[in-house]
Structure 1
Amino acid sequence: MADSTSLSLKADQDDRISDLPDALIHRILSFLPTKMVVATSLLSKRWVSVWTSVPALDFHDSYIYRRCLEAKMKFMQFVYNALLRNKSGSVERFRLHCNANYGQSCINAWICSAAVDRGLQEADISVSKAGGEESLLKLPSGLFLVKTLKILKLEGDIMVDLRGPISLPSLKILHLRLVNYANDECLGSLLSGCLVLQELVVVERKTVNLNISSPSLESLSLTTIGSTSSQHKVKVNIDAPALKQFKLQTQIKLDLYVNLSCLITADIMGGSQGGTQLLAALSRVKSLRFLRIDHLAFAVAAGSFPSFVNLTRLELYNANWVVVSQFLQHSNKLETLDVGTSMMFTKLIPGVNCWTQPDEVPLCFMSCLTKSVEDNGNTHRNIFVFRFKALHSQEIVDDVQVLADLSTLIQMKAQFLILMAWVRSSSVHFPSGFLAM
């Protein structure tokens, strides 16, 4: 019995991780911050050399490093030592999140040490500035010549100032969040050197004109933070014939010039972009989502509402029935429609309420409602969220489900009774006692 217990304790004390192959240990450690990877050297003598061969470097200075000079110097020394002692033949991933007060020459030396001639595949660099405009980090030109780089993420107080050649032949994913551009041509110049780019994310806080041109781009997310005066518009030129997914979030007035002939899905949030231009650009999509669409009323008033020949799914939030009606009349293939209000959006902008409750069920609603309805009431706003699947044939509705607060149902009882006449076989679901009123 004693021998059995001894063997059990010995098994529990075995260092099974150290028995793993080096390649697997390197893989595990590559997902940890470098500071934690270095700490593993305390586990055993074997681990002292293991961490120096991990093909990933991840540095993140904490708030204390930025406030305390001694801590700042320790962080700088740690980064230099880790870079010098890394004996991996290649660096697959390099992540650096730090403050600009380490100095441009210091930060760029770290970047070059990890990026140049190391087979770098993924770079994630985020910088927060210590002072004014002069403290913006200008990235080393060598970063934009890494042939093996597949993912590049830049964020914060970085100045994209490209004066030399750009060659990123392997880059497929590019994220540019709140970076600064030396001029309006910088983004276009950067994209021109990315021949196989598939995903682009741009978050912009300044009103710079954007030129996005890429024959290979498949996914684009564009977010603008802030607003402009009523007289000023930002010009956005998007030439992406292979684009399949497009997401736009903005309150800035935009002049859109787009080529999105292959677009499949679009997600639009904001109330200030040009409705007519935007609708025309999205007229070939299959799935479309709008959050706050009051600006689309201008397209209705101008009589320039386009036909959505491929649209099968549509989500409209903070809508009015005029716009909903136009979509129904111009979307012959529509199968799924969600109409509702976004509580999240109204919290962001107090007082915004674009919803206009109809006095009666619109005729276009009835004519398109041929498959099923699932209606979710919002008791807080007393607003309906309609979900239905429709076929463009003239069949009678198979099923209607009504789930809403009782006061709303009483007000709309006559319209719901009309809907019941369309039901052919399935049941109609109302709150208990509603029909007896």
Structure 2
Amino acid sequence: MDEAEEVRVGAKQSGEVDRISDLPDSLLCQVLLFLRTKDVVKCSVLSRRWRDVWKCVPRLHLDDYDFYERGNVDSQSSMDNCVRFVDRFLGLHSGLCLESFRFNSLIDWDREPDNALIWRWMNTVLQLKVKHIDYSQDARDSDEPQIPPAIYTCQTLESLDLFGVTMSSPEFVSLPSLRVLKLCCVIFPDDLALETLISGCKALETLNITHYQKDSVVIDAPRLKFLMLHAARTASFIIKNSGSLVKVDLDIVFSLSGGSNFDPADVPKRNMIRNFLGSIYLVKDVIISSRTLEVFYGYSRCEPLPLFCNLSSLNVFFTHDSWEMLPNFLHSCPNLKSLIVNLRTRLDPGRIYMIPGPWCVLSSLEYVRIMSPLKGEEMEMKLVSYILENSPILKKLTLTLSVGCFRKKEKSVILMELIAIPRLSTSCRVIVL
């Protein structure tokens, strides 16, 4: 009898009941679904009752480093162990259904991807009627596709998350169950391939496209609710049938390096941005980068921005010092209730910043949070003043003071400056964390 068995028997003799081990295999598998495969296999040493349960868990979640032993420089033997384990696991599930397949970083830094192996695994999990695939590797320099064409017609696939792979060109796409599609650093043979993939996902609700480097992205997904676009090198974005869209996360510049390079005389670019804004103006929740705001600010100098009348929550990520476009965008959000400002970099102390007037009244704003710690710089205080002096129904402004940059006396000075700022709202609380 092993030690785990002795513990279990001893527990029963003392009157304690091991209720988990007494559960049927089907329920134990449901519990183990919340663990990574490496930890699921470890459970096999608990007792005889647990020895073979891992073989029935319909989920494979592995990273290649799970098989690398500390101090072992033989990466080939580690990779061979990994391949044998995955082949055995998939073989045990032959004829069954696989809930989820996730494998990250299949190759090491010194070796080209084994496309034949990847195709074999992918084709196998697709035959097992997999529901969720999360696969990543660094094979972006490879001209050969790592993902087999069979993935385009998987009837059971509900979510697909790919990183760093090259796709084949689809002749036909039918993914009726796919609701979530996430593509990061994924290479398609042409723009039409991506467009065909998206249009073949009739139930698609979430779409993330990150680091896409083709000329154009056409999105036709009538049920789409959440859209993330982080693709600075893509020049054109066209969204069709956007009536269901609720939330967008944007870090795009339409191949422009910044709003200062926006050319009002570029009529095709103006039309494209106008159509893009017209396809998202009904959303309720926006996450946006400062460089995207800067493009919209440049566009607004020649054409007015549409009113985002449904927008209630705005999250802005500032990665540089162009603050002047924030009030401009807020002017187009008449029903905004929540604003979050994230400051990614320190402002240049040698430059004079100014939020130009007239400052619009933020008539609906109720909650504001500035995520990054304040250092008491002039432009930071101008932003706080702008919010407090122009928000008549503001309920709460949450701030954080920088830790370690100021002595207690200097922090007290900042607090006094905050207290001295006039507030348009009589019920506003300023919370300093």
Q: Same fold (TM over 0.5)?
A: yes
**Equivalent of 1:187 in 166, 190, 194:** 194
3-state SS of paired residue (2:157): coil
Distance 1:163 1:14, change over 3 A: same
Q: Report the AA paired with residue 120 of structure 2.
A: A
CA-CA distance at 1:83 after TM superposition:
1.5
Equivalent positions of 1:14-413 (< 5 A) are: 16-62=19-65, 64=68, 68-86=75-93, 89-100=96-107, 101=112, 103-116=114-127, 118-129=128-139, 132-134=141-143, 136-156=144-164, 158-224=165-231, 234-241=235-242, 242-251=244-253, 253=255, 277=274, 279-288=277-286, 290-292=288-290, 293-302=293-302, 304-312=304-312, 320=323, 324=327, 327-328=330-331, 330-331=332-333, 333-334=334-335, 336=337, 338=339, 342-344=342-344, 346=345, 351=348, 356-357=353-354, 364-365=359-360, 378-382=374-378, 383-384=380-381, 385=384, 386-387=386-387, 406=413
Q: Report the AA paired with residue 138 of structure 2.
A: S
- Looking at structure 1, the residues matched to 203 and 289 of structure 2 have their Cα atoms a distance apart, in angstroms, of 31
CA-CA distance at 1:93 after TM superposition:
1.0
CA contact (8 A) 1:35 1:59 kept: yes
Of residues 208-217 and 65-74 in structure 1, the stretch that sits farther from structure 2 once superposed is 65-74
- Looking at structure 1, the residues matched to 247 and 394 of structure 2 have their Cα atoms a distance apart, in angstroms, of 33
Tell me the percent identity: 21
CA contact (8 A) 1:320 1:354 kept: no
Q: Report the AA paired with residue 86 of structure 1.
A: H
Matching residue of 1:266: none
CA-CA distance at 1:405 after TM superposition:
7.3
3-state SS of paired residue (1:40): helix
CA contact (8 A) 1:54 1:88 kept: no
Distance 1:104 1:339, change over 3 A: closer
- Looking at structure 2, the residues matched to 253 and 400 of structure 1 have their Cα atoms a distance apart, in angstroms, of 38
Coordinate RMSD, CA, aligned: 4.6
TM-score (norm 1): 0.70
Distance 1:64 1:10, change over 3 A: same
3-state SS of paired residue (2:169): coil
Would you tell me which structure has more strand in proportion to its own residues? 1
Q: Which runs of 5+ in 1 are unaligned?
A: 1-5, 256-268, 432-437
CA-CA distance at 1:184 after TM superposition:
1.1
Q: Which runs of 5+ in 2 are unaligned?
A: 1-8, 263-268, 400-410
3-state SS of paired residue (1:324): helix
Of residues 178-187 and 280-289 in structure 1, the stretch that sits farther from structure 2 once superposed is 280-289
Q: Which has the larger radius of gyration?
A: 1
CA-CA distance at 1:176 after TM superposition:
0.8
Q: Report the AA paired with residue 78 of structure 1.
A: F
Aligned residues: 384
CA-CA distance at 1:307 after TM superposition:
3.8
Equivalent positions of 1:412-427 (< 5 A) are: 419=422
CA contact (8 A) 1:221 1:246 kept: yes
Matching residue of 1:264: none
